Each structure stands twice: as C-alpha cells, then as structure tokens.
Amino acid sequence: MSEVSDATPQQQVADMIEDGKAQQATVAVREPRVRRLNIIGRRNWFFLLSLVIIIPGIVSMWHNHFLLGIDFAGGTEFTVTFADKPDLATVERAVAAENANGSVIQTANGGYIIRYPPLGAAQQTNIQTDLQNRLGAMNVQQILEVGGTIAGETIFYSILAVVIASIAILALLAIRFRNVPGGWRAGFQFGGSALAALLHDVFVLTGVFSILGTVFNSRLGQIDAFFVTAVLTVVGFSVHDTIVVFDRIRENLRVSQRLSFEQVVNLSIMQTAARSIITSFTVVLVLAAIFIAGGATLQGLALALLIGIISGTYSSIFNAAPLLVVWRRLQPLR
Amino acid sequence: MQLVLSWPIRLFVVAVLVFSLFVDGAGYVYRFANHYPLQGNVPGLPPNFGGWQLYFHKGLDLAGGTHIDYSLTNFPAGQSRADVQQRTISVINKRVNALNVSEPEIRGAGSNYDRITVDLAGVNAAQAQKTIGAVSKLVYTKWVADAKATGGPQPGYKPAFTGLTGDDIQSASAAIDSTGTSWVVNVSFTSGGGTRFDQLTTANVNACPGDPGTSQTANCPQRHLAIWLDLTQKDIDNWEDPSYVAKVSQPYDPGCLAAQTADTVCGKFLTDPITLTEIAGGNATISGAFTQQSAQDLATGINSGSLPVDLVALDVTQVSATLGAESVKLSLAAGLLGLAIVVLFMIIYYRMPGLLASLALLFYAGAVLAVFKVVPVTLTLAGITGFILSVGMAVDANVLIFERFKEEVRAGRTITAAVDAAVRRAWPAIRDSNTSTFITCVILGFVGPSVVKGFAITLAIGVLASLVSSIVVTHNLLAIVLTGSSFRRPALLGVDRVRSV
C-alpha cells in the first residue's frame, strides 16, 4: 500500500497552529502508528468487492425470492415436542398422511415446527388431536396463525418503514452538512453518499439472506418481522458510522485548507477507522453472545445484525467517503 | 463543556442514580419475605401508588398466552365507527373478565376503526376464541312462504328478520323449567323489545287462529317464531340452496361460530316454537335441547351484550408459559454475557477510561431498567434484544471520545485539555449519529409492524439514556479521577505519552 505523502507530521503541526487550540505546537509530533493507506486511490477495488457480494444476492432475490417466515407467508405453525421423541422421518410421514399440506422442520432441542396453510380455531384443534393420535402425547409450545391480510400488511408496512427512514436520514444529513463549503448542494452530496452506503448494506443483507434461505435452504435465512427489525437497525448503524467519517471530513475541510478534497477524505477515513472498527467490534461481540446464548428465536435476528453491521462498517469506510469523492469530481462545487 | 461538569448536572446524575437504584430494587425484599415469585404482579407489592405497582411487565412471548387480531366487519349503518369499535371492545372486555385473566389487553386499531387486538396472558387460543367470539347475536325470525325453499325447519318457507334481537333483551338467566326436567333460558325484554315481542306473538296467533293442540290448521308455519344465533342476511339469501340450509339449520355450534371465517357455514338454529297465545309483559322463555352448561353459556352471552359487528380472527398466536420462561432465561443470559464482554473489552483496551466507561454503562443499564419499570414498557423478546443491542451502542460515544482523546494527547495537549477537546470535538458526530438512530426508532414505532414496535421503543429509550451516560457520566467521572495526579499515568490512560501539566 502506498503512503499519502502530503499529510506529514509537519503538516499536522501546521494544522494545529491554524486551529489555534494547541498550546505548544512546536512539540515534535510522532508519526502516528496507524499506517496511512490510500483508500481513495484504490476506491474502484473496494466498489468491485461490494459488487461481488451484492450482485449474486440480487440475482438470488430476482430469481429465487426469499424463504418467507410465517408472518409474511401466512399460515398456521405449531411448535411442539413429542413425549415419544419420534425421528424426523416419522413425523414427516405422519404429517404427509394427514393430507393437510403440512411441512415439518426440526428444531435444535429435538422439537418440531409443523406448518400448515391458515387454519381456523376448530381446525387447529382437529389437527392437534390428529397429531396426538398419530405420534403420541404432544406438548404444544407455540401456535402462530397468520392470515393473508396481516401478512400483506406486514410486508407493506415494513417496506414503508425502510423508505420513510431512508428519506428522513437523507434530509437529516443534508441539513447537518449544509454548512460545509458548497452549501445545500454539498449537503446533498454528503446525504446522497450516505444513502448509497445505506442501500448497499440493505442489499448485502437481503441478498445474503435470500441466498441463505433459498440456495442453502436454512431456517436462519428466513425473512420475518425480526428480519425487518434487523434491516432498520442496520440502516441506523450504517448511518452512525458514515456520519462519524463525514463529520471528520467536515472538520478537516475547515482546518486543513491546503489539502485537496481527496486528501482530506483519506485523512478523515484514517482518523476515524479505529473508532468505527472498535465500536462495531464491541457490537459484534454482543451479537455473537446473543447468537450463541439467545436461543433459536433470536438467532436469525442476531445473524442478520451481524452481517449488516459488518457490512455497515465496511461501507462507511470503503464506500461512503470514496463515493463522495467520485460525486465531487462529477459535480464540482467550486 | 463546562456546563456538563457543573454541580446542578452532577446533582441530577446522582438523583437519577438513586432513583433508578430504588426503582430497580423495589419490591424484591417484600417478595423474598413473603415467598412470592420474583417476577410479575403480586398482591400488595410495595411501593404501591393506588394500584400502580413497579414490576417488569412481560409481553405474551415471555409470559405465555394468546394474542389475536380481529377484523371487524358488517358495521351497523348510520353509527359512528369509532363508537361501534368502543362498544365492541367493552363487550369483549366483559366476556374476557369471565376468564379471570390478569391484565387483559384489548385495544382498538386499524386505520378505519376496523381492528381489535386482544392479548390474554395464560389463556390458550381455543379457550380465548371461544370466549370472545362466543354466543353472538340472538335473532328472532318469522316465516314467509318461498316455494323454492325445500330444506330447513319449515320446508316451503324461509325466515325473515323481525327486528327483534338479543339487543332488545334486558337480562337473561338459566333456570330449570316448570316441569323440573330440562334447562331453559328465561329472558326479560327491554320495554321496546317487550312491545315488539307482544306484537309479533299477536301476529303469530292471528296468522292461523285456533288451538294448535286440537286443530291441524292452527299449526301453520307463520305461527312459529324461530330463534337463531348470528343468522345473517347472507344466510337468508342462500335459503334456496338445500345443502346450505341443511348446515345452517343444525343446532347452534359455539365452537364453529367463534372461529368462523367468511367461508365457513356453521349451525345456527336454536329453536322454533309455536306461539300458543299472545305474550305481553316482556318476559319469555327460550327452551331447546339445553344442558346446564349450554344454558348458562347462552345466558352469559346474552347478558354481556351482543357484538355490534362480526369478528373475524386475522391471526392467532399462542405461546406456552414454559417457552416464555425459557426465552426470559436465554435473553437474560445473552444480556449479561454481552454486558460482561463489553466491560472486559473496554477495560483491557482503554484501561482506566474504559473502567470509568464501564461504570457509566452500569449506570446506564440501571437507569434504563428503571424506566422500563416505571413507564411501564411491556417487555417482549424483540424489546429485550433492542435493549441488549443498545448496550453495545451505548459504548460507541465513549469509544469516539477516547479515540479522540488519544489523538489529542498525541498531538501534544495536556491531559485536562485533551479530555475537554475530545468531548467537544466528538460531540457533533455523537449528536448526529444518535439522532439518526432515534429517528429510525420513531419511524419504526409509528409505521413498523407490531412485533417491531417493542424493539423500537426499548432501543429509543436506550439511545437517549446512552447519551446521558456516555457524555455526562463518563466525562464527570474522568474529570474527577484526573484531579488526582497519580492517575495521570500513560499506562493507566492507554496513551503513548503524556505531557505534564
């Protein structure tokens, strides 16, 4: 990796004199231990890496769609354990023999999730009796029944929430960054780049889940209301990281006027990378704890957040700020 | 940043700390002393402010129980939909009271007053649906000739509404009839209903006068007054379809009626007695093939009032109490594990500032849990996840400040100046990023599907509390500790090199 030659220690001292805050600017400043990587110069490689992850995801979403959870697909789902502990094949045979279009999934603790098309209350009771007759005493842990109307509404409101949140964040950033040189247009460049990074994370997350659910057929890749929660949290987090970088760019633009825009952006990324990685690392630790200890219900949510937050950290460092540079080149403000 | 270090702010922090410790600890001594369970609503729990008790309110996925979303259809014409929804809620409330559920939650929802959600802890789905949807509207019909109607209790005739329904009944009670052998339901009509009933029975008798016991002609279908449950116009419109009529004319089936959808056809027939004489005075007896239980169920149903609308269950969720307890245990474990990992990491990586940030984090966790108790926030699995996640986010502001602090020290500032500069310069990023998360939470809370709302609420509370803990508490602790010169050692502060003041 090449070094950025312009931001020498002397340069930093000069910045501090301009800043007027340091008391003894003549103090020799040691070269920071962080290696100066030229991220902006290699931006196309980073964009390429993102595309390599996103494109298969989009193909999978287009072609295979998703593995829908009960709250999106609609239906009735029983979570049960049997006293006789029958194996999966036995349960599958019994459910198939009912001719009620049931399907069986084994859970981690030896129980089963049996899913049917939406049943009424009376049919629910019938099915339960029938299962007991076929497989012996049964302990029902959970029954979920979701009709088609609710499923449709959940999908609608989920998408609506993502769209509204995106618009609100774009507006917030445009307002916050309108005071950088260039005014409102600059504000929209900042907001737009942050929004692009945010959509990047949403596509990475939904794409990976589409592949997990449909190609690998894993229950972890199931799309349900928890997944929507994860997407929106990732949206918030991704913007969190991006704002920290952008805020530093804003500050450095004021302080170091001799540097080119690219150099300011690169410097800002280097200065904030440690914080972004450390914060994400602590959150990743917490999520790993939830993933391991939180039980089956929370595993999908924890996995989605893990993927989204790692992607969010990546995109804030390697996509958002480089995109800002690209945008600035296409639409110079001065 | 002088404001943050001022004494009113410090006083505020101490007050919040004392308050949250009080709230968090409230009740546990009492619970221990009286051998009550450590969670949930227990009788006489102090502090008790007029029935408003401090304890963690658990959602259905943690406590176990049933959640149902009902859609309201067939609104009566000419009445305010909001009123109708309110009336339906109060009827459901009365019915649910019979189940003796602690804190049943029955809320109106829907953009057009067309939804009601019901949360019942500790009740299974079948029982809940049977109670709520049970014995709906009592309908009196007379018979009119229809040559194409071949089935039903009176072939050649179809029923017609008389305008008399269960709403015209003042009260009902189950009783044993005068012969002492079978169960009946005695009803007394409201004054309007009594008059109407009088008119109907008079018309009955006049349709074919005579003594039905002796005269064949006196027993004409028009002299009968049939009683149904929930009979609708749609049912009457289908009267010429023999298979449909055969189903509707079955004895009423409470289980089927409670769970009916638009497509099911349930038995709705109660009785079709002949009117012997005009009945004035507003009292009548419904006889049929009742058992004690079914007579009492019918009387309870009539008394709690009929639902002004039809209810269709859109979704039903039932969680067993064991699964709920399991979820509580797992999420507690995940939360504690997460907290421990974050604290360990912060102390190892940032040394003394990390330790102070961890103390602030404990303050934060205590304050948020107190808010959950006081508001009270109903805790669900998703909500607890939001809280655990916010622990991770709470350290973010600290990490920002500490990283900046290292930079400022490296750039040659004194410790005190560096702390001040770090907090001041990290603030815009902290403010903007937390604002964006908060906005996301608010949008989720208003727009998101209901499962997501609990998550949004706890995360939003977490974000607000983390701002206070990371900016105010950590900064104050740091300022206090750093007045001692022995603490200003590079090894303790995790920086490369420190200039003396």
Interface probe for A, chosen from B67, B395, B432, B499 (most Cβ of A below 10 Å), is B432
CATH code, domain carrying A324: 1.20.1640.10
Last residue within a domain, chosen from A146, A169, A202:
A146
Q: Are residues B44 and B107 in the same domain?
A: no
Report residue B135's pLDDT band, with 50, 70 and 90 as the boundaries.
low
Does a structural domain hold residue B164? Answer: yes
Q: How far apart are CA A313 and CA B294, in angstroms?
A: 64
CATH code, domain carrying B112: 3.30.70.3220
> For chain A, what's the residue count?
334
Q: How far apart are CA B286 and CA B276, in angstroms?
A: 14
Answer whether residue B123 shows pLDDT above 60. Answer: yes
- Beta strand pairing status for A67-68 and A222-223? parallel
Per the CB < 8 Å rule, is A279 touching B395? yes
Q: Are residues B263 and B408 in the same domain?
A: no
Last residue within a domain, chosen from B276, B305, B334:
B305
Identify the closest residue of chain B to A154 by CA–CA distance.
B449
Report residue B39's pLDDT band, with 50, 70 and 90 as the boundaries.
low
Does a structural domain hold residue B398? Answer: yes
Identify the closest residue of chain B to A26 by CA–CA distance.
B412
Residues 305-324 in B contacting A (C-alpha not used; CB under 8 Å): 313-320, 322-323
Q: Are residues B106 and B185 in the same domain?
A: no
Per the prediction, chain A carries an average pLDDT of: 79
Whose tokens are 């690169």? That residue is: A266
Last residue within a domain, chosen from B112, B133, B154:
B133
pLDDT of amino acid A22:
41
Residue A106 tokens read as 């084994």
Q: Are residues A102 and A185 in the same domain?
A: no
Cβ–Cβ under 8 Å, residues A249 and A321: yes
Chain B: closest CA distance from residue A127 (Å): 13
User: Is B263 in the A-facing interface, judged by CB distances under 8 Å?
Assistant: no
Q: Find the CB nearest B439 among A139, A143, A172.
A: A172
Q: Are residues B127 and B153 in the same domain?
A: no
Chain B: closest CA distance from residue A214 (Å): 24
Does a structural domain hold residue B487? Answer: yes
Does a structural domain hold residue A21? Answer: no
Does a structural domain hold residue B498? Answer: no
Phi-psi region of A157 (alpha: psi -120 to 50; beta: other; left: phi over 0): alpha
Answer whether residue A298 shows pLDDT above 70. Answer: yes
Contact list, A7 vs chain B (CB under 8 Å):
none
pLDDT of amino acid A204:
93
User: Is B498 in the A-facing interface, judged by CB distances under 8 Å?
Assistant: no
User: What average pLDDT score do residues A127-143 get?
Assistant: 82
What is the domain range of residue B95?
63-133
Cβ–Cβ under 8 Å, residues B475 and B423: yes
Q: How far apart are CA B455 and CA A237, in angstroms?
A: 15
Chain A: closest CA distance from residue B202 (Å): 41
Q: Are residues B169 and B301 in the same domain?
A: yes
Interface probe for A, chosen from B433, B458, B463 (most Cβ of A below 10 Å), is B433
Does a structural domain hold residue A112? Answer: yes
Identify the closest residue of chain B to A173 by CA–CA distance.
B432
pLDDT digits (tens, 9 = 90+) for A226-281: 788 788 778 877 888 888 899 889 888 888 778 888 888 998 998 888 888 888 88
Contact list, A16 vs chain B (CB under 8 Å):
411-412
Q: Phi first, then psi: what are they for B284, rounded to 5°?
A: -150, 165
First to last CA, chain A: 31
Q: Find the CB nearest A145 among B316, B346, B444.
A: B316
Which residues, other chains included, contact A167 with Cβ-Cβ below 8 Å and sequence gap of 6+? none
Q: Phi first, then psi: what are they for B326, rounded to 5°?
A: -60, -45
Answer whether residue A15 shows pLDDT above 60. Answer: no
Answer whether residue B391 shows pLDDT above 70. Answer: yes
CATH code, domain carrying A86: 3.30.70.3400
pLDDT of amino acid B177:
81
Answer whether residue A34 shows pLDDT above 50. Answer: no
pLDDT digits (tens, 9 = 90+) for B141-162: 888 888 888 878 888 888 888 8
Number of structural domains in chain A: 2
Q: Are residues A194 and A321 in the same domain?
A: yes
Q: Which helix (H) or strand (E) holds B61?
A: helix B60-63
A215-239 burial, b if ≥16 CB within 10 A, otherwise e? eeeebbbbbbbbbbbbbbbbbbbbb
Cβ–Cβ under 8 Å, residues B297 and B270: no
Q: Are residues B71 and B49 in the same domain?
A: no
- Beta strand pairing status for B52-53 and B65-73? unpaired
Identify the closest residue of chain A to B452 by CA–CA distance.
A229
* 3-class DSSP assignment, residue B488: coil
Last residue within a domain, chosen from B115, B133, B151:
B133
pLDDT of amino acid A322:
92
pLDDT of amino acid B114:
85
Q: How far apart are CA B116 and CA B85, in angstroms?
A: 8
Which amino acid is present at B251? P
Q: Are residues A217 and A282 in the same domain?
A: yes
> For chain B, what's the residue count?
501
DSSP letter string, B328-368: HHHHHHHHHHHHHHHHHHHHHHHHHHHHHHHHHHHHHHHHH
Q: Are residues A201 and A160 in the same domain?
A: yes
Report residue B93's pLDDT band, with 50, 70 and 90 as the boundaries.
confident
Per the CB < 8 Å rule, is B381 touching A32? no
Per the CB < 8 Å rule, is A161 touching B452? yes
Q: Are residues B42 and B146 in the same domain?
A: no
Q: Are residues B96 and B167 in the same domain?
A: no
For chain B, what is the largest distance between any 2 Cα atoms, rounded to a whole number of angstroms? Answer: 120
Q: How far apart are CA B486 and CA A67, in angstroms?
A: 60
User: What average pLDDT score do residues B434-459 get?
Assistant: 81
Per the CB < 8 Å rule, is A21 touching B421? yes
Last residue within a domain, chosen from A112, A146, A180:
A146
Per the CB < 8 Å rule, is A282 touching B330? no
DSSP letter string, B177-194: -TTSSSEEEEEEE-HHHH
Does a structural domain hold residue B313? Answer: no
pLDDT of amino acid A4:
38
B316-351 burial, b if ≥16 CB within 10 A, otherwise e? bbbbbeebbebbbebbebbbebbbebbbebbbeebb
Q: Select the highest-mean-pLDDT range: B56-65, B121-130, B371-380.
A: B371-380
Q: How far apart are CA A313 and CA A241, in angstroms?
A: 6
Does a structural domain hold residue A30? Answer: no
Number of structural domains in chain B: 3
User: Is B259 in the A-facing interface, judged by CB distances under 8 Å?
Assistant: yes
* Preceding omega of B376 cis (within 30 degrees of 0): yes
Cβ–Cβ under 8 Å, residues A325 and A40: yes
% of chain B surpassing 90 pLDDT: 0
What is the domain range of residue A282?
39-69+150-330
Q: Are residues B251 and B300 in the same domain?
A: yes
- Name the residue among B309, B115, B83, B72 with its Cα closest to residue A153: B115
User: What average pLDDT score do residues B279-299 get?
Assistant: 78
Q: What is the ipTM of this complex?
A: 0.73
pLDDT digits (tens, 9 = 90+) for A44-87: 888 999 999 899 999 988 888 887 877 777 788 888 888 888 88
Q: Are residues A169 and A156 in the same domain?
A: yes
Report residue A208's pLDDT band, with 50, 70 and 90 as the boundaries.
very high
Identify the closest residue of chain A to B395 by CA–CA distance.
A279
CATH code, domain carrying B396: 1.20.1640.10
Interface probe for A, chosen from B265, B452, B497 (most Cβ of A below 10 Å), is B452
pLDDT of amino acid A2:
37
Which amino acid is present at B109? A
